[in-house]
A and B are shown apart, each in its own frame.
Chain A
């Protein structure tokens, strides 16, 4: 059974800092990996989708990487802003979709 771990559980940084969120998974037989953002009381917003054959995806200030052999993905956020404050979830699609518990990010002005 796929297990997904996100470290750290919470992170607080000053505005403008570059940061990395980590996601690890136990089974490398995956279709894709997806990073989501969740604001309090809201649904999940898809940020980046990396297919199994890809190594990374970029969207604006966000860059996500995938290393299946080591069972790791990172989400890099450049020049963080207070509006980036949210919980970030990674999800692994294999036989089903497994979610990490998330990293709660706070960006302080």
Chain B
């Protein structure tokens, strides 16, 4: 079955550490997105990519980095510069920019 796979499901980060969240899709979608979800708040866009080797900052890109070397993969790195990284991270994809989204199951990141 086609879909989006996020891993790991739970991730713990120590202070000052960089961590990378994985997002893989086999839907042949061109566009991919990373969102952050905090309790009681809506989803906020971190980064998006409309095509391989291209990506753009979203509303809250500071302290995060991404790459898009393959169509299927859009990993997100949470750097030590992100001061409040504890949140639920969601990856999504769409066949192109103007179409509906498919979401992964999310990664919960906690700073310890």
Where the two chains meet, the residues of A that have a C-beta atom closer than 8 Å to any C-beta of B are 4, 31-32, 34, 36, 41-46, 49, 89, 91, 93, 96-97, 99-102
**Bound state CA distance, A101 and B48, in angstroms?**
20
State the Cβ distance, A3 to closest chain B Cβ, in Å.
10
- Cross-chain contact A46 with B41 (CB below 8 angstroms): no
Interface size class of B (residues with CB under 8 A): 20 to 34
Contacts of A42 in B (CB 8 A): 105-106
8 A-B pairs with the lowest CB-CB distances in the bound complex, closest first: A49-B100, A44-B103, A31-B98, A43-B105, A99-B43, A43-B103, A99-B42, A101-B42
B99 within 8 Å of A (CB atoms) = yes
B58 within 8 Å of A (CB atoms) = yes
**Bound state CA distance, A102 and B108, in angstroms?**
19
**Bound state CA distance, A41 and B90, in angstroms?**
11
